[in-house]
Chains A and B, each alone.
Chain A
Amino acid sequence: MELSLTRVDYLQVGVTSQKTMKLLPTSGRKAMQKVVIGDQDGVVTCFGIKKGEPVPVFKTLPGEKIARLELGGALNTLQEKIFVASGSEVRGFTKRGKQFLSFDTNLTESIKAMYISGADLFLCASYIYNHYCDCKDQHYYLSGDKINDVLCLPVEKLSCITPVLACQDRVLRVLQGSDLLYEMEVPGPPSVLALNEGNGGDSGEDVLFGTSDGKIGLIQISAVSPAEKWKIENEKKRGGILCMDSFDIVGDGVKELLIGRDDGILEIYNFENANSPVLRHEYAFSESVTSVQGGCVGKEGYDEIITSTYSGWVSGLTTEPLHRECGSGDEVKMSHEMQNKILSLRNDLEHLQVKVLEEREKYQLNSQSSTAISTVPTFSINDKFTLNRDDASYSLVLEVQTAIDTVLLQCDVPIDLKDVDKNSAVVSVVDCESEPNGNFLLATYRCQANTTRLELKILSIEGRYGTLQAYVIPRVQPKTCQVQQYQIKPLSLHQRTHCIDPDRPMNTLTLKGQFSFAEVHSWVVFCLPEVPEKTPAGESISFYFQNTFLDTQLECTYRKGEGYFKSDNISTISILKDVLSKEATKRKINLSISCDINEASVNHTLKLIHPKLEYQLMLAKKVELIDALRELQTHEGNTDFLIPEYRNIVEEAEQLLKEHEKQPASLERLYGMITDLFIDKFKFKGTNVKTKVPLLLEILGSYDQDTLLAFFDSAA
C-alpha cells in the first residue's frame, strides 16, 4: 500500500537529546494527543494542537540539560506521568505540569539513560547502572564500557524484573538483580533499545536494538539465553539509529517499525512477510531525528508520526491529505491557517530585528570601553567520529543547531580527506608540503546556506598518531568558533571484537616493569580506539581487536606490572613497541619490552592481503579496459565478438566503476601496508631495508603472490 505523508512543523524548542519527546496517552481512542518534550536548556514543554496552532499546556523553567524523558504510571493504568532525567536528578510531572517528584540520586555522574516501569526506576550514568524501587536503592551494576540505553522487559508479562543494558562495546548485557545474567554480542555499538511493538511482543521478551553504525535487529531475551530473530545491515551507509517506535501508521492492524537516524532519515518498515521487516517509506529531515513516536496530534482521525530533531523542531508526518485547491487565478489559495502563521511569523521577525539591531549597537558601544569584556556565546555541537568497518575510514559528523558558515580542519599527522556525496560544502585544501607550522592537513569547508550538518570522511595511516581539530564557525552574530578535538590513535584502524581466531601464527610483545594496572590501561587507551577510559574492575583484563582493513587481529592482556600483546601482523606489534617505549620514556618508567617474532606470521599476513590486493588489481585493470571495450562496442554494434571475460566487463561496467570510485585509495593503502610489513619484518631482525623499498614497489607493480613471498623471504 502506498503511503503518502505530509510534513507539518509544529514548534521549535531548544536543542534536544536522544529520546526526549513523548506523546501523552489519551483514554479515548482517536482523540488528540499532547506532545511533551524536554530540551537541553532544561525546559519541559507540553503542548497540544488546536486548528493547526500549538497550544501550550505547560512549560517549566530552564535548568540543567535534559538527557531523557519517559512516561510512567502505576502498572496496568494509563502511563501519563512525565519523568525527566537531568544531571543526577529525576523529576516527575503530572500531565498538567505539576511537579510531584524530585529525586536526587546522588550519583557523581549525570544520568545518561532512564527507564520506568511502575514503581521501578532504572538509571544509567556512564558506566553505572542503578535500580530504584519507590526511590529506594535496589540494585547496582558496573558495566565494562559505556551504557547507551537501558530498558526492562515488561513486568506484567514476565513477572520478574529483567533489565537490559546497551553497552558501547557491542554488547547487550542482561541483568538479574545486581548480577550479570548473560551477554549478547550485537553487530555494532548499540545506541538505542525498544520493546518490540511497544510491549515486547506476545512473549514480552522481544527487544529491538539500533546501533550507532546504522544497523537494527530484534532479539528474544529469554530467561536462559538470547536468540536473534532478525537483523538488517546498513547497506545504504546511512546514519546511526537514535530512536525507534512501533506504530500502525498504515492502518492495516500490524504495527510498523519507525526508525530515526542521525543523518535525518526517518524510515518506516513493515512486516509483510511475517519475520524480517521491509523498508516501505522514508523521509529525509535535514538534521538528526532524536525522538520518534506515532500517534494522533494534528487533526482528529488522522494518524501521524511525530518526530523531534536535534535543533528542537517538533514535526509531524501526517496521513492527512494536503488540501490544495489550484484556483482559477494565478495565486494558489493558501489556507487561512497557513497565511496567519506566515503573517504572525513575519511580525515576530520584524520586532526581533529591531530589538537585535538595538542590542547590536549596544554591543558595539561596549567595545569602546576599556574595562568591558566580551564573551563568546556558546552553541552546542553534536559530533560523531567513528571508524567504518567496510572501508576502514573514519567519518566525522558535525551538527550545529544553526547553519554552519565555515569549518576549518587541521591535523598534525598525515591523513587523507575523502569526498562525501552528501556534503555540498566547497572544500579548499591548503598545500601543506612546505608548511612551516607542522600541519599536515589544513582544509576549509565553506558551507552552502542552511547546512546544519556536515559529514566528512578521513583515511588515517596506522602508526601516525596525533590530533584532528575542527574549528566550527556557525552563521550567528557575533561570529564565534568552537574547537572540537579528535584523537587519531596509533592503531587507528583497529576495532573491538569479542572473539578471535586462536590458530593464527602470532607475534607477541611482552611488557614488564614497575607500572600500575591503571597506567598500562591508559597506554592501551592511548593506542587503541573503542577502549573504555575507565580502568576496568578486577586485576587483569583482555581486549580483542580486529584490523578493519587487513582483518589481522590483536589480543591485549594486561595486569599490574605486565602486559602481553599478540598479533598476527608484525606491523601492529612494531607500532605498539614504538609507542609504548615512547610513552614510558615520557613518564620515566623503566620498561622491559621483549618481542617474540613468529616468522610464519609475515607470510600469513601477506596471504591475508593477497585476495584484497588481487581484487583491487583486477578491478583497476578492468576499469581501465571499460572505455576501450565500449568503443569497440560502438564500432561493431554489439559485444558478441568479444571473449566472455571482456563481455562481462562491458556488462558489469556500471558496477565496476561504482566499486572503483568507492575505494579510490585502496591500492595505495595496501601498498603502504605491505611496505610497512616489509620494513617491520627486518627491523625486528635488526636490518634496515629502506633501500630495498623501490625494489619491493617494482615487484608490487607487476604483482604475483609467489614472487612477493619469495622476495620477503630472500631480501636482507
Chain B
Amino acid sequence: MMKKLIVTAAVMVVAACSSAPAGEPVAVEITDGAFNLDATSVDPGLITFEIDNAGSQVHEFEVFAGASAGQVLPLVDGIADTTGLTVIDEVEDIVGGTSTELTLDLAPGTYLLICNLPAHYAAGNWSEFTVTG
C-alpha cells in the first residue's frame, strides 16, 4: 500500500514537472473531480488547450493569472474565492462527452486552471499551470 502510494506520488511529481515546448498543444482532460494535464509547464507564447470533458457533468474551464505556486484558494459558499486573481479567459458550458479548444498568449507566470462551479473546486477540478520564463 505504502509502496503504491510512493510510486503514485513519484508519478505525480514527474507529471507535474513535465514541460512542453512552445507551440505544442496542452491536453486537458476534465473529469468529475480532476483536471488532468499532459503538461503543467510550458514555454511562453501561444498556447492551445485541448479541453476534453470526459466526465458526465457540465464543466467550465477558466484561466486565472496571478496565482502563486502551491496556492490553495479559500472556499466561500462552496466556490473558490478568486479575489486577487485575474481572469484571462474562460470557456463555459462544456457538456460532458464533448471537447473544445482555447488558445491563449500567455506570459511567464503561475496560472490557475479551474472549474469554479459550485463544489467543483473542492472536488478537485483545478490545476496549477506554469509558463516558464
The answer to whether A and B interact is: no
Give chain B's interface residues, CB within 8 Å of chain A. Answer: none
